[in-house]
Amino acid sequence: MATIRLDNVKKSFGKTQVIHGVSIDIADGEFIVIVGPSGCGKSTLLRMVAGLETITDGTVEIDGARVNDDEPMDRDIAMVFQNYALYPHMSVFGNMAYGLKIARTPKAEIKARVQAAAKTLQLEAYLDRKPRELSGGQRQRVAMGRAIVRKPKAFLFDEPLSNLDAKLRVQMRLEIHALQRELGITALYVTHDQIEAMTMADRMIVMRDGVAEQIGAPLEVYENPDNRFVAEFIGSPATNFLAPALVPEAPAGTAWIGIRPEHVKLAEAEGASLTGKVLHIEALGAETLVHVVLADGTHATVRQEGHLPKPAEGARVGLAWHLAEVMFFDTQERRLR
């Protein structure tokens, strides 16, 4: 287990800077998720911690020691990749034991560590099988087991669930989170999936174009986004952005107002200050998404409980909200209040 510190870490390829000074202090045993759209630099940042990418400027420390120039094998971390990276000719046992064999760990200790990890990951019955004989979820468990047996200071996960189907992703998400809690190992986890970020992280780093736009606990980031990008990226369905003229109380300098779909309520069109036409209804069971187009062509989404009455497509409806739930952003996309 370890603390990890990133101090103004930067990365450039030639004259192109791709990571613009990221800083964070990660506590021992903390689960940090790095989240953002494709190409935002999240995997590059993780690989810099791992030692797979050189650091142009700034410092990475693991347990208080500067590791900028250390080889990956000397950083005492373990990485789990999207593609599992298992040796197809080796058994499950062989894959999990390989790193220990390279390190010349005694055979008895290798066997004990592999068996203990297999028990934790429910892989005991599969130790003699080859990777091709396993499901995607089982292969991912083997990759995690290979990391666990090394007893590293930190786990680094690079989009480990991207190749799994939706149901299995949910299951593995729960398993990874429970395993990290059980082992108490510090973890950095990269994903583009905001649901993974919201449900797994102690804190998350929201990235855009190499910049850490906001760092904080999931609900803190969701409820108090620092800027328009974070408000739009975190949350599904996405935040509605409307013209400031729709809210007379908007502070000076407001360029957009933002309001989350669950905070918008349907009302009778007659007498409503804001009306629109229902474009489409998504009845999802527990909830219903009502998509509305306003007079200026802006689209808005209303999220309501599934048991509530649903308007007809094409109907005119009113929209209402509480001022306390409205977010205001300036021309630079910064949050005003």
Residue 67 contacts by C-beta under 8 Å, 6 or more apart in sequence? 51, 60, 61, 74, 75
pLDDT, one tens digit per residue, over 17-71 is 999 999 999 999 999 999 999 999 999 999 999 999 999 999 999 999 999 999 9
Residue 115 clears pLDDT 90, i.e. is over it? yes
Class of domain 237-329: mainly beta
Q: Which tokens in the block code for residue 260?
A: 């989350």
Q: Strand 57-62 to strand 4-13: parallel, antiparallel, or no bridges (unpaired)?
A: antiparallel
Lowest mean pLDDT among 2-11, 133-142, 161-170, 218-227: 161-170
**pLDDT given at position 152:** 92
User: How do the domains of the chain map onto residue ranges?
Assistant: 4-232, 237-329
pLDDT, one tens digit per residue, over 275-306 is 999 999 999 999 999 999 998 999 999 999 99
* Residue 229 buriedness (CB in 10 A; 0-12 / 13-18 / 19+): buried
pLDDT, one tens digit per residue, over 185-217 is 999 999 999 999 999 999 999 999 999 999 999
Confidence of residue 165 (pLDDT cuts 50, 70, 90): confident
Mean local confidence (pLDDT), 147-164: 90
Mean local confidence (pLDDT), 117-140: 92
Lowest mean pLDDT among 73-87, 253-267, 295-309: 73-87
Q: Which CATH superfamily is domain 4-232 in?
A: P-loop containing nucleotide triphosphate hydrolases (3.40.50.300)
**pLDDT given at position 271:** 85
